[in-house]
Chains A and B, each alone.
Chain A
Amino acid sequence: MLMYLQGKIVTQKVVAPEYNLLVIEQPAIAKAAQPGQFVMLKAWERRDLVLPRPFSLYRILPREGQIQILYKIRGQGTAEMARRGAGEEVELIGPSGKGITLPATGAIALLGRGIGAAPLMAIAEAAKGQGLEVYTFLSARERSLLLGEEDFARYSRRVVTSTDDGQEGGGRLLTDLLVDIIEKESPSLQRVYTCGSRRLARGLIPLQARYGFIAYVLLEEHMACGTGACKGCVCKVKDPARPEGYSYQKVCQDGAVFPVGEVVW
């Protein structure tokens, strides 16, 4: 059930240039949220910024009554967020979206590009808690932009990184690094989740049949309501029942998690 609530900032810290971690006290959302879900957040009184902005849940801490958001400062809204400090209040709508369903046993892999690592942390934590093996693959432009590496290490059997400048992983594609691990360690890989790069998500499509896993992508689209009401946040999904062969599904309500094979890229 969606809620519209106020949350209180516990801390905000800079984790990398232009990247912040925001810890918010909001027990009801922390209790209800599932990995892969997100919130609509508004942290400003400015009238020129109308809409709340969508952010994935980086960590969900029901016992502490907290949620964490890892975000990149991009435009006006995120710049305003970065100015808020401990004790200040934010407006939240959520938890939004369907979230993910973990397999009962076996292993999962997480492939995150840049800020795409954000929603994967909550998945890693839940999977580890359920006794699943987690393989994490992170890529970014350069070392300093690899996000959450230490946190991921806590929940993962392996964390493999790659940077575009070649300093890490020889700058190789995460899908290639994933294949390496599958070939070398043959984990019983059930599910792969990816976020942050359309190219990565597409690259997983042919690997599914070859290695017997199902891959899901966490999509982003511009949003207004985050509740399924405005039909503004759609993505194109295969739909054999329609004469066009596709239909538009709402990322905020039908996603944001979609099987990579169902998305029309």
Chain B
Amino acid sequence: MEQAGNRPAVNLKGQAGGVPFNPHHQETAPGVNLAVEIAGLRLANPVLPASGTFGFGAEYAPFVELNRLGAIVVKTITLHPTPGNPPPRLTETYSGLLNSIGLQNPGLEVFIREKLPYLRQFTPPLIVNIAGRTIGEYAELAARLSEAAGVDALEVNISCPNVREGGIVFGTVPAMAARVTAAVKGNTPLPVIVKLTPNVTDITVVARAVVEAGADALSLINTLQGMAIDIDTRRPALASVVGGLSGPAVKPVALYNVWRVARTVKVPLIGMGGIMTARDAIEFLLAGATAVAVGTASLVNPGALMAIIAGLEDYLLDQGLADIRDLIGALEI
């Protein structure tokens, strides 16, 4: 009988990645450029982990060569430790994951003291995602992270659907979103990426407001608000009743939002929402994203990021293209 042995899991057809994780995968094939630029940051390739699905990097070190990522994006940091929401925090829905983590994180000080030294050893830019309960907290987080060596950009989370104070409140009112953006910009020399929620009537209004307030780039989408009910107990599947939906189920919505925002603002976009394979990632690039982030796919296949990078390269080679930048916004209508 054939030995299953220590071969890396070969992904089942059509599933996350589609290409087996090979840690010895050669650097980008000669003659093919995967590098892109976002808000002054040079990314060796356009593939990033999505905040909150990649911990603080170390969790994925057994599966992902962190130095091969376009950038490293860590879980949202708040000024003070945040305990998070009561369990159950997760439930699966058709092709989707509904979560209500509630931004559980050890807080700014522990992050700087215990997580940052580990993260500094990697070469890709480090993007730290932040959330405050007040505009003042966003400003303070920006100031203090700018002083901590090793942080290359801030991603401002004004779109978390799972916290009572702050979070999505800032992301749904354009004037508030602009004030948060301006406060962060005023307190940091670092590039500022603002992460948008799809839970609004018109995402382009918020996009325009934060760009006018100084955002250097936008990332979208955060999760879509949703819920699930256990009909046997008649109770909500999540302890906090409402959660955020991610995974393949949200991809069409995410792609549509990216496409619309790309036609509205000039700053680069990091597109995300349901990307499981390199093919999915390419759809986002064609819709106008300069880079993509991968969240739920990593939870399913911890090697997904590597597989997607390799898949992009294969796509360029197959298509006889030399530069991934030729795909950005190249949708033909």
Q: Which residues of A contact B (CB under 8 A)?
A: 1-8, 25-28, 42, 45, 47-52, 65, 89, 91-93, 221-225, 227-236, 242, 244, 246-248
Q: Please name 17 pairs of A and B residues whose Cβ atoms are closer than 8 Å in the assembled complex, sorted by A.
A: A3-B62, A8-B1, A26-B4, A47-B248, A51-B299, A93-B302, A221-B87, A222-B91, A224-B90, A224-B97, A227-B55, A228-B59, A229-B60, A232-B99, A233-B89, A244-B83, A248-B87
Is there contact, CB below 8 Å, between B87 and A233?
A: yes
> Could you tell me if A45 and B8 are in contact, using CB atoms closer than 8 angstroms?
no
A3–B92 Cα distance when bound, in Å, is 23
Listed from nearest, the 4 A-B pairs whose CB atoms lie closest are: A229-B55, A232-B90, A229-B59, A6-B9
- Chain B residues with CB under 8 A of A2: 62-63, 302
Fill in one digit per residue for B92-105: 1 if any A CB lies within 8 Å of its CB, else 0. 10111101010010
B60 cross-chain contacts in A, Cβ below 8 A:
227, 229
Does B303 sit within 8 A of A, measured CB to CB?
Answer: yes
Q: How many angstroms from the CA of A181 to the CA of B302 in the assembled complex?
A: 46
Who on chain A is nearest to B57 by CB?
Answer: A229
How many inter-chain residue pairs (CB < 8 Å) link A and B? 140
Contacts of B104 in A (CB 8 A): 231, 234, 248
Expressed in whole angstroms, the Cα–Cα distance for A246 and B87 within the complex equals 14
B10 touching A6 by the CB < 8 A rule? Answer: yes
Smallest CB separation, A101 vs chain B (Å): 22
Instruction: Say whether A45 contacts B15, CB under 8 Å.
Output: yes
Q: Which residues of B contact A3 (CB under 8 A)?
A: 6, 62
Q: Are A27 and B5 in contact (CB under 8 A)?
A: yes
A50 touches B300 (CB 8 A): yes
Identity of the chain B residue whose Cβ is nearest the Cβ of A93 in the assembled complex: B302
Is the beta-carbon distance between B95 and A50 smaller than 8 angstroms? Answer: yes
Residues of A within 8 A of B84 (CB): 231, 234, 248
Among candidates B53, B54, B63, B90, residue contacting A4 with C-beta atoms closer than 8 Å: B63
Chain A residues with CB under 8 Å of B55's CB are: 227-230
Alpha-carbon gap, A225 to B55, bound state (A): 10
Q: How far is the CA of A13 from the CA of B247 in the complex (A)?
A: 33
| B residues adjacent to A (C-beta < 8 A) | 1-15, 21, 52-55, 59-60, 62-63, 75, 81, 83-84, 86-92, 94-97, 99, 101, 104, 247-248, 296, 298-303
Pair A229/B299 contact, Cβ less than 8 Å: yes
| Contact A27–B298 (Cβ < 8 Å) | no
Shortest distance from the beta carbon of B70 to any chain A beta carbon, whole Å: 18
Contact B4 A25 (CB under 8 A): yes
Residues of A with C-beta under 8 A to B12: 42, 45, 91
Asked if A248 and B83 sit within 8 Å, CB to CB, the answer is: yes
Indicate which residue in B9, B86, B88, B298 contacts A229 across the interface (CB closer than 8 Å).
B298
Which of B86, B88, B299 gathers most chain A CB within 10 Å? B299
A246 to B86, CA, bound (A): 11
Let me know if A227 and B59 touch, CB within 8 A.
yes
B9→A225 contact, CB < 8 A: no
Q: In chain A, what residue has the closest Cβ to B9? A: A6
Interface centre among B11, B90, B296, B301 (most CB of A within 10 A): B90
Nearest residue (CB) in B for A10 is B1
With most chain B CB atoms within 10 A of its CB, the pick from A25, A223, A225, A231 is A231
A42 to B92, CA, bound (A): 14
Known: A50-B97, A51-B299. A4 touches B21 (CB 8 A): yes
* Contact B53–A230 (Cβ < 8 Å): yes
Chain A residues with Cβ under 8 A from B99's Cβ?
A: 224, 230, 232
**Which residue of B has the minimal Cβ distance to A53?**
B92
Q: How far is the CA of A142 from the CA of B12 in the complex (A)?
A: 39
Q: Which of B10, B14, B302 contacts A45 (CB 8 A)?
A: B14
**Interchain CB contact (< 8 A) of B83 among A5, A51, A228, A247:** A247
With A6-B10, A25-B4, A27-B3 as contacts: A222 and B302 at CB distance below 8 Å: no
A contact residues around B6 at 8 Å (CB): 3, 5, 27-28
Task: Please give the distance in Å from B1's CB to the nearest CB on chain A.
Answer: 8
List 14 additional contacts besides A3-B62, A233-B90, A236-B87; criterion CB under 8 Å: A5-B6, A6-B8, A6-B9, A221-B88, A222-B91, A224-B97, A224-B296, A225-B299, A229-B53, A229-B298, A230-B52, A234-B104, A248-B83, A248-B104
Query: Contacts of A92 on B, CB cut-off 8 Å?
Result: 9
Chain B residue with minimal CB distance to A24?
B4
Q: How far is the CA of A25 from the CA of B6 in the complex (A)?
A: 11
Knowing A48-B94, A221-B87, the reply to whether A230 touches B299 (Cβ < 8 A) is yes
CB distance from B198 to the nearest CB of A (A): 19
A225 and B86 in contact, given A4-B9, A47-B248 (Cβ under 8 angstroms): no
Q: Which residues of A are found within 8 Å of B11, using beta-carbon distances?
A: 91
The answer to whether A45 and B13 have CB atoms under 8 Å apart is yes
Q: How far is the CA of A244 from the CA of B94 in the complex (A)?
A: 36
